[in-house]
């Protein structure tokens, strides 16, 4: 049987999603606890990868097992075993050809910023000290949707077969007089892409890059021409859709 598991996590204390030899990851913790409960070695395949320090409000993964179990009971036991910063919402049976990564049609990320010192949001939002033109940044966000090749925002040295992504939404939203978040939806994302996009949009918002220059960055497909990669702590995988 194939199962989908839906969960969320605070990525602060993890070396990202994917299993690594020299660090604790969300995937390794989920596999450890599932294997313990189901009494067999369980391997989970996630909807995507998040880097060290990145969070997820909604993440999906699939795993296969012949074990017979009551999903609500396993969810309860998993939440008892897992650390406080990983929470399982539900487990459900799916068709055997459903794939957590390849069957997903879109992913949505949020990146949070605030423009004043605030000790209560600093762990999950990036403090910005510049005056930003959010209207101009949203114009740049609309420009993103005109392109498909985002090599300019892909981390150098990434082992990817293609840098083609289909961005369907890219917009800044204001949540208070001094707090904003950037929302971006696409069928797939490149490694470090959202943080690089946000860093480049902030260059536009600061008046250090024009919209025409922003287009040239995208068309140039060179990571060195784009803005800096923003800190991971303010990035959330918000939603995965199938």
Q: Residue 157: its pLDDT value, please?
A: 73
Q: Residue 205: its pLDDT value, please?
A: 98
pLDDT, block means (10 residues), the chain with 242 residues? 98 95 95 97 96 97 96 98 98 97 98 96 96 98 98 87 96 97 97 97 98 98 96 98 98
Q: CB 165: neighbour CB atoms within 10 A?
A: 21
Of 173, 196, 193, 197, give the one whose Cα is nearest residue 183: 173
**Cα–Cα distance for residue pair 152/192, rounded to 1 Å:** 11
**Cα–Cα distance for residue pair 8/82, rounded to 1 Å:** 12
Supply φ then ψ for residue 53, to 5 degrees: 90, -10
Positions annotated as catalytic residues are 51
Q: Residue 202: its pLDDT value, please?
A: 98
Q: Residue 159: its pLDDT value, please?
A: 75
Q: Residue 156: its pLDDT value, please?
A: 83
Residue 184's beta-bridge partner residues? 109, 170
pTM given for the model = 0.95
Cβ-contact 104, 60 below 8 angstroms: yes
């Amino acid at each position: 049987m194939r199962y989908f598991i839906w969960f969320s996590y605070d990525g602060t204390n993890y070396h990202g999603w994917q299993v690594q030899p020299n660090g604790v990851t969300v995937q390794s913790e989920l596999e450890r606890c599932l294997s313990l409960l189901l009494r067999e070695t369980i391997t989970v395949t996630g909807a995507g990868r998040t880097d060290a320090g990145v969070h997820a409000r909604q993440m999906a993964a699939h795993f296969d097992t012949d074990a017979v179990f009551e999903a609500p009971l396993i969810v309860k036991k998993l939440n008892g075993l897992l650390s406080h910063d990983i929470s399982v919402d539900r487990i459900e049976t799916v068709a055997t050809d459903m794939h957590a990564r390849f069957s997903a049609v879109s992913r949505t990320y949020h990146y949070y910023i605030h423009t004043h010192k605030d000790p209560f949001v600093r762990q999950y939002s990036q403090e910005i000290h510049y005056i930003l033109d959010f209207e101009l940044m949203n114009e740049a966000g609309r420009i993103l949707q005109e392109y498909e090749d985002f090599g300019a925002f892909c981390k150098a040295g990434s082992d990817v077969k293609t840098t083609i992504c289909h961005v369907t939404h890219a917009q800044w939203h204001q949540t208070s007089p001094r707090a904003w978040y950037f929302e971006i939806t696409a069928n797939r994302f490149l490694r470090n892409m959202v943080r690089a996009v946000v860093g480049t949009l902030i260059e536009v918002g600061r008046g250090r890059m024009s919209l025409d220059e922003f287009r040239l960055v995208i068309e140039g497909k060179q990571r060195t021409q784009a803005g800096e990669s923003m800190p991971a702590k303010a990035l959330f995988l918000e939603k995965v859709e199938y």
